[in-house]
Amino acid sequence: MPKGIVLASGSVHRRELLKNAGVDFTVRPAELDERALEAPLLGSGVTPEDVAAVLAEAKATNVSQNHPDEIVIGADQTLALGDDVFHKPATMEDARKTLLALSGRTHTLNSAVVLVERGVVTWRHVAVARITMRKLDPAFVGRYVAQVGARALTSVGAYQIEREGVQLMEAIEGDYFTIIGLPILPLLQELRTRGEIDG
């Protein structure tokens, strides 16, 4: 008999992806300080892919404590530009600076997804996408940030590729869902294999 499925994320984008795929789930965002968890990892030789996986596991494990009889989905995404790891911008000025830093360069998005049952990680997957942003005129960046408003603060790269953000791109290598922040195809396959969703 299928178990309940819980999404340990407050991300509107991840919630929409699962909902649009027809998955029945509840949302229970994790309550933890991601930056505090990440701090000892940065500079320790841990890859951005590993950081995404560790944070996804921490979120799902945190929520699993209160939902031991359900399958908890944890997800996280990191953006790496060379040795620098970016986070969601806190202010519109941070968003502008992020876009200018990415301008004309190729960055990597690492999207991790895990399944946790009774506090134990039972499955994990990390998908990688590479995005080359076109050379952006600073004045255009200012107009872009003003146009998208607070949405610039909801994603690690200060853009939504499914909306106006696609105008910033020159080339994309990788899966659309990875860029959004949830590698949903392997996740759905795993849930089907377990008999948690109809297959």
Rounded to an integer, what distance in angstroms lies between the CA atom of residue 42 and that of residue 23? 34
Task: Name the region of 149 (left: φ>0; alpha: ψ -120 to 50; beta: rest).
Answer: left
How many angstroms separate the first and last alpha carbons of the chain? 14
* Residue among 60, 174, 159, 185 nearest 101 (CA): 159
Contact assessment for residue 126 and residue 77, using Cβ atoms and an 8 Å cutoff: no
Q: Mind telling me the catalytic residues?
A: 76
- 160/144 Cα distance (integer angstroms): 12
Nearest Cα residue to 34 out of 20, 17, 48, 54:
54
Backbone torsion region of residue 95, taken as left when φ is above 0, otherwise alpha when ψ lies between -120 and 50, otherwise beta: alpha
- H/E segment holding residue 122: strand 120-133
**C-alpha pair distances (Å), 151 with each of 38, 86, 180:** 24, 17, 13
